[in-house]
Copies of this chain bind each other. A is one copy, B any other.
């Protein structure tokens, strides 16, 4: 009887409960330290119990991605540019909450159903805005991962493995002296960002600004192509 009671104490395992626990664990400790074994331990369960609900670790990660993508706001009504811009910025907020997700999405070789649904509704917004399927197609490629709210920042000091990066503000972004000597041009743009006179955000790059800068650069270019009736047939 006490044995029975102990067993019943925990909510029964379910795919959903496993995925939620996995997302929480990856958020806290980073995805590289998420293992079937310590996920099971977190759930108070023997490792093999997970395999009743997920086929293997790859399928677990797929499920985790779907949980994250489901957090993105549904599309708004209104003109295509505004709707897509808002949705992408929402996606960005979601991915900031789950720093492991961008890399996880990229490392899958096939998109998950939730990602496909997200992409589909984005194409839908373009077509509703009068885009030809031709232009919509190229636009989707051009947006790349940015459509899902992330871009790989090649010199992003904040993307520390594991840590839930968004929380800790950047320290002053000046390059250490020996780096500045080797890479004078990087030093110049880093310094420009740090000591930008009327910048309210303080030292370091304002990631939100950079993201919106790139996003609007793309959206403005796309709008121009759309307005001009761009076609891929023998044009470029």
Contact = CB atoms under 8 A, between A and B. Distances in A.
Interface of A: 103, 105-107, 109-111, 113, 115-117, 119-121, 123-124, 127, 132-134, 136-138, 140-148, 151-155, 157, 159-161, 179, 182-186, 188-193, 196-198, 205, 209-214, 216-218, 220-222, 225, 232-234, 236
A142 B217 contact: yes
Contacts of A160: 109
Q: How many copies of this protein are present in the complex?
A: 2
B217 A221 contact: yes
B127 A188 contact: yes
Given A153-B141, A157-B110, A212 B236 contact: yes
A210 B113 CA distance: 23
Given A109-B161, A157-B110, A217-B221, A133 B186 contact: no
Contacts of A191: 133
7 contacts: A116-B183, A119-B154, A120-B183, A123-B188, A197-B233, A217-B218, A218-B218
Interface of chain A, main secondary structure: helix
Given A109-B161, A154-B105, A183 B147 contact: no
* Top-3 shortest CB links A-B: A142-B214, A123-B185, A137-B189
Contact of A106 (B111, B152, B157, B184): B152
A122 B167 CA distance: 31
Contact of A236 (B138, B188, B213): B213
A216 B230 CA distance: 14
A133 B189 contact: yes
Given A136-B185, A197-B233, 6 more contacts: A105-B152, A111-B155, A116-B179, A123-B186, A138-B213, A217-B225
